[in-house]
Amino acid sequence: MVNTKSFLLVAFLFIFFDKIVATAVTYNVVNLGAKPDGKTDSTKSFLSAWAAACGSAQPATIFVPPGSYLLGKASFDGGQCKNSAITIRIDGTLLAPSDYSVIGNAGNWLIFEHVNGVSIYGGTLDAQGTGLWACKSSGESCPTGATTLEFSNSNNIMISGLRSINSQMFHVVINSCQNVKVQEVKISASGKSPNTDGIHVQQSSSVTILNSRIATGDDCISIGPGTTNLWIENIACGPGHGISIGSLGKEMQEDGVQNVTVKTVTFMGTENGVRIKTWGRPSNGFVRGVLFQHATMINVQNPVLIDQNYCPGNENCPGQVSGVKISDVAYEDIHGSSATEVAVKFDCSKMHPCSGITLEDVKLTYRNQPAQASCVNAGGTSSGLVQPTSCL
């Protein structure tokens, strides 16, 4: 009886896997001419693999074997794709040109646009950004720099097990997308590298970022206008500028940010912990329905911050106030150490004071003493142990 059952199970599995193997097609970039030598430009082979996978009506895998592949700017467009199940399995490293000017003004290095059902597993993306950072810090005129990996106007995306190092500008951008999962990624760049945000999300809905480690020179995760239903959980951040909603309100007309959860994050030596930042300028944007829960701060300069008076260089905003309405923001179980005396700071708009801010079980210390809190135009409640004493 047991044997018959096992036999049937095994027979079933064979048929099942046979079907998968029979219907999935794999395109190996090396078979299409890519050279894993880190020197030969393999952009064309990657684009051929994309065209083939995209043209196939069956689930397709693009396989990148171990080795290092030099790639210039590459746009993977899905506008004409027949396929909505493309897996890109990367066992190697993709290298940007060592001369930063090659992709430095291209906006992006690797961009996927109008794609549906694309999953990237594994791989290292090395944008070799150090030369550009040096140029920028020398005060010479330099290219802006490229985002390493962007998904734009796309749906049903998975990025899993990817490593991104030394981006010129942002590492990963999710723009105008729906249903995106980013997990087990490792992002690293020097704590001094300019504008190397880890993951930037904007105009997107249902994005989940899980189990990732981000060390960089700007925000670990930045959340731009039009972001809704965002879930961030189990992240290690630092060095970097923390997790930030904003900057918002740079434009007069701007979509709001709604329903964001940031859960179980450790911030190590970062400039900020959990932050909401808006320009001190009129705007019709808003932020509502945000939960920051279970955060550990280790020597963080501004662990809890709402800054509605962002005005870099004091240009185009002095004397103006932010029009962004911030409401229903909850902080639960936020603990650890602040590197400055004021660990909780709510500096809200005079025009639209922050409302519905709640603090529950917050314990932040400065030099082993309770830290301080500061509130301007901020309303809400606190419960449980709250240290520093709430100023709401």
Ligand X SMILES: *[C@@H]1O[C@H](CO)[C@@H](O)[C@H](O)[C@H]1NC(C)=O
| 327 lines the binding site for ligand X (CB under 6 A) | no
Considering only residues 28, 84, 178, 259, which one is a binding residue for ligand X as defined by CB under 6 A? 259
Contact 227, 204 (CB under 8 A): yes
| 75 lines the binding site for ligand X (CB under 6 A) | no
Residue written as tokens 């900020």? 272
Task: Considering only the stretches 8-16, 38-46, 227-235, 239-247, report the one whose residues sit in contact with ligand X under the rule CB under 6 A.
Answer: 227-235
| 229 lines the binding site for ligand X (CB under 6 A) | yes
CA distance 72 to 111: 11
Q: How far is CA 68 from CA 73, 90, 92, 93, 146, in A?
A: 16, 11, 6, 5, 20
Q: How far is the CB of 230 from ligand X (least distance, A)?
A: 6
CA distance 353 to 288: 13
DSSP letter (8 states) at residue 22:
H
For the segment 363-392, give every residue that binds ligand X (CB under 6 A): none
Q: How far is the CB of 258 from ligand X (least distance, A)?
A: 8
Q: Which is nearer to ligand X, 63 or 231 (CB)?
A: 231
CA distance 94 to 86: 18
For the segment 296-315, give every residue that binds ligand X (CB under 6 A): none
Which tokens go with 161?
Answer: 């097990």
| 234 lines the binding site for ligand X (CB under 6 A) | no
Task: Considering only the stretches 1-9, 60-68, 226-234, 348-356, report the one whose residues sit in contact with ligand X under the rule CB under 6 A.
Answer: 226-234
**Residues near 237 by beta carbon (within 8 Å), at least 6 away in sequence:** 198, 214, 215, 220, 221, 243, 265, 266, 267, 268, 270
Instruction: Confirm whether 241 is a catalytic residue.
Output: yes
Q: Which is nearer to ligand X, 68 or 234 (CB)?
A: 234
Q: Which is nearer to ligand X, 129 or 289 (CB)?
A: 289
Q: How far is the CB of 156 from ligand X (least distance, A)?
A: 15
Q: Which is nearer to ligand X, 227 or 278 (CB)?
A: 227
**H-assigned helices in the chain:** 2-23, 43-55, 130-138
User: Concatenated DSSP letters for 318-367?
Assistant: TT-----EEEEEEEEEEEEEESSSEEEEEE--SSS-EEEEEEEEEEEEET
Residue 192 CB neighbours (<10 A):
10
Q: How far is the CB of 264 from ligand X (least distance, A)?
A: 14
**Burial bucket for residue 54 (CB in 10 Å: 0-12, 13-18, 19+):** buried
| 56 lines the binding site for ligand X (CB under 6 A) | no
Task: Considering only the stretches 11-19, 104-112, 160-168, 223-231, report the one whose residues sit in contact with ligand X under the rule CB under 6 A.
Answer: 223-231
| 231 lines the binding site for ligand X (CB under 6 A) | yes
Which tokens go with 60?
Answer: 């397709």
Q: How far is the CB of 91 from ligand X (least distance, A)?
A: 31
Helix (H) or strand (E) holding 195: none
Q: How far is the CB of 227 from ligand X (least distance, A)?
A: 10
Q: Which is nearer to ligand X, 83 or 227 (CB)?
A: 227
| 178 lines the binding site for ligand X (CB under 6 A) | no
How many angstroms separate the first and last alpha carbons of the chain? 70
Task: Considering only the stretches 182-190, 225-233, 238-246, 358-366, report the one whose residues sit in contact with ligand X under the rule CB under 6 A.
Answer: 225-233
- Catalytic option among 171, 200, 241, 352: 241
Q: Which is nearer to ligand X, 127 or 230 (CB)?
A: 230
CA distance 136 to 100: 12
| 261 lines the binding site for ligand X (CB under 6 A) | yes
Size of interface with ligand X, in residues (CB under 6 A):
5
Active site residues: 241
User: Which positions lie near ligand X, rule CB under 6 A?
Assistant: 229-231, 259, 261
